[in-house]
Amino acid sequence: MFGRRKKGSAAEDAAGEAEQVVDGVDTEADETERERVRLEPEPRPDGPWDSSEVRDPAEGRVNLGGLYVPGVEGMELRVEVAGDAIVAATVVLRDSAIQLQAFAAPKREGIWGEVREEIATGITRQGGVIDEVEGPLGWELRAQVPVQLPDGTGGFQVVRFVGVDGPRWFLRGVISGQGAVQPQAAGLLEQIFRDTVVVRGEGPMAPRDPIVLKLPDDAQMVAEGAQQEQGGSRFAGGMGQLQRGPEITEVR
């Protein structure tokens, strides 16, 4: 299924926090430290892939323009809008989800180390908790992000921030739901991340500019709230707050 949502609602989620720190520049960061974490991108023998590395990116994947996202039986795919541009896609699979977003990056420098530090700083300033670990996708952040619960009280949402540097691009994933609470249950979401294909294009882009996506040609508009009537949120475990805005839906 495809869903569409707009950014900028009062409810601030972990993915929104990540976009702030990826799109913006932390002016308080020391320039020496910034240079230290800009390393050459590491090899990617298991993906994610550049479009030049895959013979047919559309085989078994959904064409979103800047990303080809693997199709998995029973999944729901939502796109996220900033202004008039589609900048992120979220795969929802049972009680877990992974948000995918690609950015332009320097030709010979990886930015994931730098981005991790900025994400960690932003979340800890909000009162959250960060743990940097080496997981199945490489170095990642496991975070407890402060959120407001439906009853108005404060709580924490558990998320995982993963990332990979590619040739002139950076792909970030935000895993939420049970795949974040129990990382051992996130194998299929991690495989979706690995098998995603990034289409950077040859045009000039400033580092950290989002790689714009597009809707599939056969996406269909669904009235807001219709999905809830069909059986409730696919985000289990308190993740319903991440849904907002009208939806464009296709059942796979």
Alpha-carbon gap, residue 165 to 86, rounded angstroms:
21
Looking at residue 213, the DSSP 8-state letter turns out to be B
pLDDT of residue 35: 44
pLDDT of residue 217: 73
CA 238 to chain CA mean position, Å: 19
Q: How confident is the model at residue 219 (pLDDT cuts 50, 70, 90)?
A: low
132-164 pLDDT, tens per residue?
999 999 999 999 999 988 888 889 999 999 999
Domain edges within the chain: 2-249
Q: Is the pLDDT of residue 43 over 60?
A: yes
Q: What percent of the chain clears pLDDT 70, i.e. is strictly above it?
A: 69
Q: Answer for the pair 44, 166: CB distance below 8 angstroms, yes or no.
A: yes
pLDDT of residue 39: 54
53-78 pLDDT, tens per residue?
999 999 999 999 999 999 988 899 99
Tell me how many degrees the CA angle 31-37-41 measures, rounded to the nearest 5. 135
Residue 249: half-sphere exposure toward Cβ, Cα within 13 Å: 16
Q: Is the pLDDT of residue 102 over 50?
A: yes
pLDDT of residue 40: 60
Computed over every residue of the chain, the mean pLDDT equals 77
Q: How confident is the model at residue 252 (pLDDT cuts 50, 70, 90)?
A: very low
Q: What is the pLDDT averaged over residues 14-33?
A: 45
